[in-house]
Chain A
């Protein structure tokens, strides 16, 4: 323990105020997430202005909790990592300003981290091992992309969604089915009790690596409007269509690129249906890697791991870096 170097990581790109202490071999000493979910549930969703103000309120207590849970003093922290984008600009700014202030006060180097790269490192925390070359499927409320990494830290985005993320399509269809909002996880559970009986499209399944969930959403709406719907069966049919597309594209990437591992990260990686089908349909072709459920959704531990990697590769980030709402991967 004494020999390892520690990084303090801060993540405020959306509605979670998060801080973590991570060692240079990606072990997580603490990972604190102050979720604003209950606050935003009152509003029905993330309100960017409210979210950034909440980050201001929660940030110092979150950082202090991460340090105290890890039982480290600021003097033991070797570097500070912070999410610089992509995300909500006002939210990112709170984390970046805090990290810059700490770096100045503690005389520590600062590393700007891409939130998407952070997700890719979420499957490498706490001794888990991703073997490269790897293909990553990043699926969450805000993102849906397929990434090829010939080696750690080198990325080629194979495809991304052209309209909705899959998490968003789940939440919208859940609401159309009267399951509340955000109802993605409820829809996923309900799907487990139904049968795939409705013929829904598999948008862009045969075409390249990009995704589109808009047409599927429309097809579900038309089905509901025709009336007399069996809700569990329609949920099962919708989930099957989404999974067919996600797994179909991942399978094609595995066939085309023959990676050593296929890794699914992001909040949708928590879906039991997805986890089960991954193992049965792809487990014999390549190593399947999934993050621990704690690290599937937004957290700072993954930012710490990505931060270590970037710091070891290229040292501190230039002092004048700012937030980038549309920061691309790679």
Chain B
């Protein structure tokens, strides 16, 4: 587990870009944190670093958006509207995971995802644009994130 202090929106984008650079086909990334904590901003930074040409917006309304213009196909899910874990099972998320990289906002609303995955939890910091990011990795994500330093 790593805890990072993000001073600004640029820091959030930079962290996302760092993760995008080491992302591989089949990766699953879970994003948690309340409204306005920067989950969509993280995905925007991630997509830009992946080479996605479309502008990424929040998929809360449509639940799932696919972007195919980047280095890897990117699936962007948002479980905000889904209260019931059985409705999340209906999404068929696992059918998309093998095809590219999958990012899931409000992942904690599901009953949990089978590893391997990386979980990024965002919380508000003191200043307007400050955020605290907590990263928890499983599987090959542990080695791929060793540049973050010694895990605590």
Contact = CB atoms under 8 A, between A and B. Distances in A.
Contacts of A160: 55
Contacts of A172: 35, 60, 80
Contact of A88 (B36, B57, B62, B84): B62
B82 A47 contact: yes
Sorting the interface of chain B by its residue count into under 10, 10 to 19, 20 to 34 or 35 or more gives 20 to 34
A220 B37 CA distance: 12
Interface in A281-326: 325-326
A195 interface: no
Given A172-B80, A176-B35, A222-B124, A167 B87 contact: no
Contact of A14 (B40, B62, B92): B62
Given A44-B83, A47-B87, A164 B58 contact: yes
Contact of A168 (B61, B91, B92): B61
Interface string B46-84: 000000001101101111111000000000000011111
Contacts of B61: 46, 141-142, 165, 167-168
B90 interface: yes
Contacts of A219: 36
Nearest to A175: B35
A50 B35 contact: no
Nearest to A141: B61
Contacts of B90: 43, 47, 49-50
Contact of A164 (B60, B65, B128): B60
Nearest to A210: B55
A43 B89 CA distance: 11
B135 interface: no
A163 B9 CA distance: 13
Contact of B84 (A43, A163, A325, A326): A43
Interface of B: 34-37, 40-41, 44, 54-55, 57-58, 60-66, 80-84, 87, 90-92, 124, 128
